[in-house]
């Protein structure tokens, strides 16, 4: 158990029009939930698919559970669990059959009933795959990723397209995986998901890892623990003049202003006074803790959702 769950060095993959992965280095310890956070097109999925053995890298070394694809491919496959970004199964296979079938591919397997129970699909156990809802299909994909009792589980955007309630129940399953001692690596473009689930994470942009650490340490490194948000009725006015008057950076983000500050208590009275004088027609003032979204914004100058 000495080798880390995953160690990646100098990973690179170029497609004809874009360098998808550009020198990624990562290390994931056993038993942790590790997140790859980044906007669409950052290279998260390509990185994950190279690790899973679906895509061949142009350069770089990967060690999974101390094993390499070149020498121990079959052993890696039997010890990892994978949920692809979209899992396309045969239309008329049922969850029970799919779990039985996929289980039969592995030397070690968990019981189908236990897995159906874990992802709460007992009632849909004998329904055709095509009749399941998006959330149910996603949960079946998650159960399939656990069918071989894997040590290391890869989840590619497990909650994309799910409603809030389905997301919460999926988070619970991920937390249980961690409780069972599994290592989990997931990708997401939701910062709240990364904050809620991940012990550590790497933020990716344009194929590069731009920051690594625990969610708390990444936010702390920003040195701006809080953000004051001003909202308006309709579009926000131009902030340049106001920023000069306040002697403080005021950023316009869509229909609101954001003012990052290490000390919201001192800022608020000054802000309200200046707004009164300049007749800024704000509706609400909202003070919030800085999030991973702000970390991404700070490092790239862009929003995660852009």
Residues of this chain that interact with other proteins (CB under 8 A) are 52-54, 74, 77-78, 80, 82, 84, 86-90, 92-93, 97, 100-102, 104-106, 128, 141, 144
> Collapsing DSSP states into helix, strand and coil, what is residue 183?
strand
H or E element that contains 269: helix 264-278
Whose tokens are 């106001």? That residue is 242
Q: How far is the CB of 191 from other proteins (least distance, A)?
A: 28
In the complex with other proteins, the residue whose CB is nearer, 113 or 244, is 113
> Is the Cβ–Cβ distance between 174 and 158 less than 8 Å?
yes
**208-213 sheet: strands from edge to edge:** 80-83, 152-156, 183-188, 33-37, 200-205, 208-213
Q: Count Cα neighbours of 88 within 13 Å in the Cβ-side half-sphere.
A: 0
In the complex with other proteins, the residue whose CB is nearer, 97 or 149, is 97
In the complex with other proteins, the residue whose CB is nearer, 152 or 295, is 152
> Collapsing DSSP states into helix, strand and coil, what is residue 73?
helix
CA distance 212 to 214: 7
Q: How far is the CB of 117 from other proteins (least distance, A)?
A: 22
Q: How far is the CB of 52 from other proteins (least distance, A)?
A: 5
In the complex with other proteins, the residue whose CB is nearer, 87 or 214, is 87
Q: Which residues contact 215 (CB under 8 A, 6 or more apart)?
A: 194, 195, 198, 201, 292
H or E element that contains 221: helix 215-221
In the complex with other proteins, the residue whose CB is nearer, 137 or 261, is 137
In the complex with other proteins, the residue whose CB is nearer, 93 or 196, is 93
Q: How far is the CB of 83 from other proteins (least distance, A)?
A: 9
Q: According to DSSP H, which parts of 95-202 are helical?
A: 95-103, 112-118, 134-145, 164-179, 191-197
Q: How far is the CB of 77 from other proteins (least distance, A)?
A: 4
Q: How far is the CB of 56 from other proteins (least distance, A)?
A: 12
Q: How far is the CB of 267 from other proteins (least distance, A)?
A: 51
Q: What's CA 165's distance to the chain center, in Å?
A: 17
In the complex with other proteins, the residue whose CB is nearer, 88 or 165, is 88
In the complex with other proteins, the residue whose CB is nearer, 2 or 104, is 104
The crossing angle, in degrees rounded to 10, of helices 164-179 and 134-145 is: 10
Q: How far is the CB of 13 from other proteins (least distance, A)?
A: 15
- Of 29, 27, 24, nearest in space to 11 by CA: 24
């Amino acid at each position: 158990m000495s080798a880390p769950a995953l160690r990646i060095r100098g990973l690179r993959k170029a497609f004809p029009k874009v360098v998808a992965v550009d020198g990624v280095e990562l290390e994931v310890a056993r038993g942790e939930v590790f997140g790859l956070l980044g906007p669409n097109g950052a290279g998260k999925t390509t990185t994950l698919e190279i690790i899973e053995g679906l895509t061949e890298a142009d350069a770089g070394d990967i060690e999974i559970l101390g094993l390499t694809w070149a020498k121990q491919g079959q052993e890696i496959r039997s010890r990892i669990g994978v949920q692809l970004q979209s899992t396309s199964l045969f239309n008329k296979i049922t969850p029970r059959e799919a779990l039985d079938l996929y289980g039969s591919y592995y030397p070690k397997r968990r019981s189908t009933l236990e897995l159906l129970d874990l992802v709460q699909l007992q009632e849909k156990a004998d329904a055709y795959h095509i009749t399941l809802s998006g959330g149910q299909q996603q949960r079946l994909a998650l159960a399939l990723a656990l069918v071989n009792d894997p040590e290391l589980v890869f989840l590619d955007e497990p909650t994309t397209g799910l409603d809030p309630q389905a997301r919460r129940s999926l988070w619970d399953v991920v937390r249980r995986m961690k409780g069972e001692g599994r290592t989990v690596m997931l990708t997401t473009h939701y910062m709240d998901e990364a904050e809620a689930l991940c012990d550590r994470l790497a933020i990716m942009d344009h194929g590069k890892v731009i920051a690594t650490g625990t969610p708390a340490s990444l936010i702390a490194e920003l040195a701006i623990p809080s953000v004051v948000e001003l909202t308006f009725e309709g579009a926000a006015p131009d902030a340049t003049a106001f920023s000069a008057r306040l002697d403080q950076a005021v950023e316009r983000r869509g229909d609101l202003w954001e003012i990052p500050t290490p000390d919201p208590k001192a800022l608020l009275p000054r802000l309200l006074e200046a707004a009164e004088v300049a007749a800024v027609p704000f509706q609400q003032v909202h003070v919030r803790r800085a999030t991973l979204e702000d970390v991404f914004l700070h490092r790239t100058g862009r929003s995660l959702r852009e």
